[in-house]
Amino acid sequence: MAETSPPSDPITVMGAGLSGLAAAIVLAKAGKEVHVHDIRADSGARFDGDFQALENWSMDEDFFDQLEAWGFDATSFKSTAFSVVDLIHPDDEITQAKSDGVAYRIVERGTSEHTIDQAFKRMAIEAGATLHYKSRISQKDADIVACGPKDTSAIALGEIFHTTHPNHIAFQLNDKLAPGAYSYLIIIDGVGLICTCLWRKQKKSDRFLNETIACYQRLYPEIDIHPIKRVGGKGDFTLNGNYTDPATGQHYVGESGGLQDFMWGFGMRMAVWSGVLAAEEILGGTSYDKQVRRHLLPYVRTSVANRWLMNRVGDRMFKRMCVNWMKDQKRSGNGLRWIGRLFRPTLFKRLVFRMTSPFMLKRGKGPTRPLRLPFRKAKARDNWEQSKEADLAKARWEAVRRGGGHVSFASDSEGEAQEISAISS
């Protein structure tokens, strides 16, 4: 059981995702006996082969250099670096944001060997940690809580497909297809993903994915799409009062600690980083709570301010953002400068955060005194019938589904997120 003084061996981690495994690797490498318990059958089982982006623009240091400095092998999972992205404006104009360096890297989530989840699992085992899958423990017995999302503030829905099209990335700001958020297309080595993010709770949410697929087909007619499965997930956006429970000394890491970008849902970098910081405190280093407040919280607060600004905008403002992004690229010669500034803490964003967070966030229950971002209500403009082209995308998927195509995530008619992949008790 956790103590207020540093826990003695064995150390118990609840959750074998990125944050829990990162903590376990650092602790086990330092010679600690570590046990990691996960309710699912494997690390990455929360995901189903989805592509995710490790952004590289919000901080000066390259994330892979950070990984190496913490002792993780960044070559042990497949990652594909990109320096260009198609930016699709709400009026369908396509421009390109470019950078001289690595703008972001795409990794796969899931249980396949080359995923980032499985690489962290291998590193944890090699370091000497013991992993217990399909294992449910009481939260009070954990020294580190790393369970990922609990509630739902937003969902993402995607279709994975085979294609002969070369590697390509597109990012779209369009309030109809991705209410309050964004959609994206990722193609890596013959496998594609079209995904839309719903930052407002919708009825019949599949129509947003069907319409997004139809839109990408119209904009990129050369891309052939042969659906394999439909995937998705939920995001839980919380801002914690404590990162370490003062009564028990338990550390809350990754999404369990609310360490995720509220604006666009980037969370992997903070998940790994927070796992490392929690392990460092246990090994006698600086207070985890202090380190989170110093290194990560300013970014989370900035993202709350960004989210408030995004909640207010529709396509007219999205268009202005795209235009400003491209103008800044032309002026500076760097397509990452504008987006990097959007993510970085500033005095203005601190003021926006202070003024708006009391209205946006609702006090939740629990030892970390979380402030939760509720899943926002749909707007009148979110009510539309899908087009004929979207009907076709739906029919194509239904045919694949009848032939055994797998769905790993759904949201019901009330918009409640539901992970279909089995969690055994």
CA distance 182 to 53: 14
> Binding residue for ligand FAD (CB under 6 A) from 2, 7, 11, 18?
18
**329 interacts with ligand FAD by CB under 6 A:** no
**168 interacts with ligand FAD by CB under 6 A:** no
CB of 147 to ligand FAD, least distance (A): 4
**321 interacts with ligand FAD by CB under 6 A:** no
> Binding residue for ligand FAD (CB under 6 A) from 24, 25, 124, 156?
156
User: Cβ(97)–Cβ(325) under 8 Å?
Assistant: yes
**11 interacts with ligand FAD by CB under 6 A:** no
User: Cβ(47)–Cβ(117) under 8 Å?
Assistant: yes
Considering the complex, state which of residue 19 and residue 395 has its C-beta at the smaller distance from ligand FAD: 19
Residue corresponding to tokens 């944050």: 19
Number of residues lying near ligand FAD (CB under 6 A): 35
Residue type, 148: G
Residue 227, preceding peptide bond in cis (omega within 30° of 0): no
CB of 327 to ligand FAD, least distance (A): 26
CA-CA-CA-CA torsion for 328, 330, 335, 340, nearest 10 degrees?
Answer: -20
**303 interacts with ligand FAD by CB under 6 A:** no
CB of 96 to ligand FAD, least distance (A): 19
Considering the complex, state which of residue 228 and residue 392 has its C-beta at the smaller distance from ligand FAD: 228
> Binding residue for ligand FAD (CB under 6 A) from 7, 17, 49, 340?
17
Stretch 133-152 residues interacting with ligand FAD (CB under 6 A): 136, 146-148
Token pair listed for 333: 């010669």
DSSP secondary structure letters along 210-223: HHHHHHHHHH-TT-
> Binding residue for ligand FAD (CB under 6 A) from 29, 32, 35, 46?
46
Closest residue by beta carbon to ligand FAD: 17
**230 interacts with ligand FAD by CB under 6 A:** no
**186 interacts with ligand FAD by CB under 6 A:** no
Stretch 232-271 residues interacting with ligand FAD (CB under 6 A): 232-235, 254-256, 260, 265-269, 271
CA distance 186 to 213: 12
Distances (CA, A) of 102 to 71, 82, 237, 408: 21, 6, 27, 31
CA distance 416 to 202: 9
Among the residue ranges 8-16, 313-321, 375-383, 399-407, the one whose residues contact ligand FAD (CB under 6 A): 8-16
Token pair listed for 73: 């092998």
CB of 210 to ligand FAD, least distance (A): 17
CB of 79 to ligand FAD, least distance (A): 12
Stretch 52-111 residues interacting with ligand FAD (CB under 6 A): 52-53
Interface mask toward ligand FAD for 26-45; x: CB under 6 A: -----------xxxx--x--
**278 interacts with ligand FAD by CB under 6 A:** no
CA distance 296 to 273: 9
Considering the complex, state which of residue 35 and residue 269 has its C-beta at the smaller distance from ligand FAD: 269
CA distance 285 to 145: 19
- H/E stretch holding 136 reads none
Alpha helices in 30-179 (DSSP H): 63-69, 116-127
CB of 195 to ligand FAD, least distance (A): 7
Considering the complex, state which of residue 272 and residue 361 has its C-beta at the smaller distance from ligand FAD: 272
User: Cβ(191)–Cβ(110) under 8 Å?
Assistant: no
Distances (CA, A) of 166 to 51, 171, 216, 393: 16, 16, 15, 21
* Nearest CA-CA partner of 82 in 56, 58, 60, 108: 56
> Binding residue for ligand FAD (CB under 6 A) from 11, 16, 27, 336?
16
Q: Are strands 79-82 and 104-108 parallel, antiparallel or unpaired?
A: antiparallel
- Radius of gyration, CA atoms only, the chain: 21
CB of 55 to ligand FAD, least distance (A): 7
Stretch 371-400 residues interacting with ligand FAD (CB under 6 A): none
Residues in contact with ligand FAD by the rule CB under 6 A? 14-20, 37-40, 43, 46, 50, 52-53, 136, 146-148, 156, 232-235, 254-256, 260, 265-269, 271
